[in-house]
Amino acid sequence: MAVYTEIPDNELVEYLKQYDIGELHSLKGIAEGVENSNYLLSTDNGMHILTLYEKRVKKDDLPFFLGLKDHLAENGVICPRPIAMRDGRVLGELAERPSAIISFLDGNSVKRPNPSHCEQVGQALAQMHLAGAGFELTRENALAPKDWEPLFEMSGRQTETVAMGLSAMIREELAFLNDNWPADLPSGVIHADLFPDNVFFLKGELSGLIDFYFACNDLLAYDVAICLNAWCFEADNSFNVTKAAKLLRGYNSVRPLSDREADALPVLCRGSALRFLLTRLYDWLNVPVGALVTPKDPSEYIEKLRFHRHVESASDYGIDLT
């Protein structure tokens, strides 16, 4: 369970007095997520999400994250919104952690996405990219290509305990991406973590996007590459070109990728696979003492990276099949 900080009952009661959401009914830890402590909060006014921002999340970034949700919701993107306190603030402090209460979003994530789910995700991602264009705040990607080698060095010699030859593979990939990473592609606000557990559906229809705590300014097509990795592989790590074609079709129906963006997809997918391999590798090797959290196995992204290393053009992702 991704709960790093427990909340004393008396502190929670006092904290809720700052809001106009009624009396506390219940509080339950949420298992999903690995960055923050998340709770399902029930009060007289219904269900909410209470988030305590852990040390890995910089407090200076929180105005961007919370403000972005408000901006996107105002511009037609279905996502949770921060709930203001009586004095108008949306960021508080609870259990010695920065904290916020966020509106509850109906729906559930899907364990096994089908092509329809993928097409809807592509549409929603493109809508988010267009809606984010008017957001005034900016945030640099804290896990951009320049950050990947330092992140890898933090795992160091332990890397070989995960898979033999992994260190050499990662070093080869870092060198390739350093020489081939695309420049001057359209950029803007990206989600950067739009995995299936961050998208809700109701009766087969997409009902909202959640968890914007990796959101930043970067290449829009890189966000598409992240989604191809997150949504278009099967449980055995085989690539499903039908799902990929649907995801790209959905995206292009709202915001068509340029020819240069499409041509860059194989490199962007390799970069996306390496980025998540490196963060999962570090988390796998460095589980916080006492944390009720199960880190994600990096092996999944080893296999995805191997696939992308053999892709020759965007047509291999089904972009010409739409």
Q: Angle between the 259-285 and 166-180 helix axes, to the nearest 10 degrees?
A: 150
Q: In angstroms, rounded to a whole number, what is the distance separating the alpha carbons of residues 85 and 91?
A: 8
CATH 3.90.1200.10 fits 115-317, yes or no: yes
E-state strands within the chain: 24-29, 37-43, 46-52, 92-94, 97-103, 187-190, 199-202, 205-209, 216-219
Print pLDDT tens along the chain (322 aa): 455 688 999 999 999 999 999 999 999 988 765 578 899 999 999 999 999 998 778 889 999 999 999 999 999 999 999 999 999 999 999 999 999 999 999 999 999 999 999 999 999 999 999 999 999 999 999 999 999 999 999 999 999 999 999 999 999 999 999 999 998 999 999 999 999 999 999 999 999 999 999 999 999 999 999 999 999 999 999 999 999 999 999 999 999 999 999 999 999 999 999 999 999 999 999 876 655 567 789 999 999 999 999 998 999 999 875 4
pTM above 0.85, yes or no: yes
Q: In angstroms, rounded to a whole number, what is the distance separating the alpha carbons of residues 239 and 130?
A: 28
Q: Which residues contact 117 (CB under 8 A, 6 or more apart)?
A: 110, 196, 199, 201, 204, 206, 231
Predicted pLDDT of residue 153: 96
Q: Which residues contact 224 (CB under 8 A, 6 or more apart)?
A: 122, 125, 247, 248, 251, 257, 261, 265, 268
9-103 is classed in which CATH architecture? 2-Layer Sandwich (3.30)
How many C-beta neighbours within 10 Å does residue 147 have? 14
DSSP state of 181: -
Predicted pLDDT of residue 295: 79
Task: Count the residues in the chain.
Answer: 322
Domain boundaries defined on the chain: 9-103, 115-317
Predicted pLDDT of residue 322: 46
Q: Is 97 helix (H, G, I), strand (E, B) or coil?
A: strand
Predicted pLDDT of residue 1: 40
Q: In angstroms, rounded to a whole number, what is the distance separating the alpha carbons of residues 213 and 53?
A: 10
Instruction: Report how many helices (DSSP H) and strands (DSSP E) the chain contains, helices first.
Output: 9, 9
- Tell me the H-state helices in 43-189: 62-74, 115-131, 145-155, 166-180
Query: At residue 149, what are phi and psi to the nearest 5 degrees?
Result: -65, -45
Predicted pLDDT of residue 3: 58
Predicted pLDDT of residue 84: 96
